[in-house]
Amino acid sequence: MSKMTAGQRDAALGAGAVALMLNEWIEERFELPAAQLPDLSHESSPAAAAAALRRIWGLGELPIKNMVHLLEARGVRVFSLSLDTAHVDAYSMWHASTPFVFLNTMKSCERSRFDAAHELGHLILHRHAGPKVKDAERQANEFASAFLMPEGSVLANAPVMATVDQLIAHKVFWTVSVAALAYRLKDLKLVNEWHYRSLCIEIAQRGYQKSEPNSAPRETSQVFQKVFAALRADGMTRANIADQLAVHVNELDELVFGLALTALVGDAEVLSRPRRPVLQVIEGGRD
């Protein structure tokens, strides 16, 4: 937070305020998945909480195919942030009984997935009361690492004493960054401290801290795709929604992963008839 400018902070919080209005508008017309996030603050460690959540959600040791879809299926409202700054990766909050996550879409897919898992950690570990911010961030990072790369899966699939090229090849299995996989190997003692530092130096020299090698396509919202398809069928335009919320159309596009640009087209001012269809959201686990 100390690295953010006042403008960056205000832009992020302003986007959150618009997202709350948009979510309320959508929930008046659609039946979205209810929140299914347990309070795991009592677990012995963030890694234990990650393992417990995987058991509760029936994920086992499988890699997470799509973090955004998984969160949406479990009732988290996921919105995008179009902020071109490295200081606003993501943030999350509970509003009443509904969890929200905001992801910076300027990041690579791998880093955005880690941000999503990090914010999930905050939501289940720090909902009611938490430690100091610095400790909370460490805990959320530990949770994200263990949630995306479960111990059994890493021990069974990751190379021992890996090279950077081997990390690039293996990171695809979990869809994580080279740096995140290197740290996870160190955490599980598959590489020692000296080897880990050598990997970090080479990763930095290759420029992989800023440009992820062999990056996966960015994840997007399944809920918004379904919502906007239904609204388009009813004749609802982007302008209609923006007018009803008293916001600019661009503010909507920036919150919904840009999906409104192609999902809602046309200039007709046609009002949507009342409807509350139930959306079926598919979880983001591996087949």
| pLDDT tens for each residue of 167-208 | 999 999 999 999 999 999 999 999 999 999 999 999 999 999
In percent, the amount of the chain with pLDDT more than 90 equals: 63
How far is CA 153 from each of CA 47, 121, 184, rounded to the nearest angstrom?
A: 14, 20, 11
83 conformational bin, left if phi > 0, alpha if psi -120 to 50, beta if neither: beta
Look at residue 268 and tell me whether its pLDDT is greater than 50.
no
Q: Are 88 and 8 in contact (CB under 8 A)?
A: yes
Q: Per-residue confidence at 135, pLDDT binned at 50, 70, 90?
A: confident
Q: Which residue blocks in 35-163 are alpha helix, DSSP H?
A: 46-56, 67-73, 109-125, 133-148, 151-157
Burial of 239 per CB tally in 10 Å (0-12, 13-18, 19+) = middle
How far is CA 52 from each of CA 155, 183, 254, 261, rounded to the nearest angstrom?
A: 18, 21, 34, 39
Average pLDDT over the chain, rounded to whole? 86
In percent, the amount of the chain with pLDDT more than 70 equals: 85
For the entire predicted model, the pTM comes to 0.87
Query: In terms of Cα–Cα distance, which of 259, 213, 284, 240 is closest to 71?
Result: 284
In this prediction, residue 252 carries a pLDDT of: 87
**Look-up of token digits 């020692």:** 192
The span from the CA of 251 to the CA of 58, in Å, is: 36
Q: Per-residue confidence at 129, pLDDT binned at 50, 70, 90?
A: low
| pLDDT tens for each residue of 238-254 | 888 999 999 988 888 88
Question: Mean pLDDT across the stretch 34-55?
Answer: 96
In this prediction, residue 134 carries a pLDDT of: 64
Strands 77-81, 98-104: pairing is parallel
The span from the CA of 281 to the CA of 70, in Å, is: 9
In this prediction, residue 269 carries a pLDDT of: 34
Look at residue 160 and tell me whether its pLDDT is greater than 70.
yes
For residues 263 and 232, the model is more confident at 232
DSSP string, 167-195: HHHHHHHHT--HHHHHHHHHHTTSS-HHH
The span from the CA of 113 to the CA of 232, in Å, is: 29
In this prediction, residue 202 carries a pLDDT of: 97
Look at residue 278 and tell me whether its pLDDT is greater than 80.
no
Contacts of 135 (CB under 8 A, 6+ apart): none
In this prediction, residue 191 carries a pLDDT of: 94
**Look-up of token digits 């919150």:** 255
In this prediction, residue 281 carries a pLDDT of: 61
The span from the CA of 69 to the CA of 281, in Å, is: 7
**Look-up of token digits 């973090």:** 67
The span from the CA of 109 to the CA of 280, in Å, is: 24
Q: Which of 156-160, 207-211, 256-260, 272-276 has the lowest average pLDDT?
A: 272-276
| pLDDT tens for each residue of 6-41 | 777 777 788 889 999 999 999 999 999 999 999 999
Q: Per-residue confidence at 263, pLDDT binned at 50, 70, 90?
A: very low
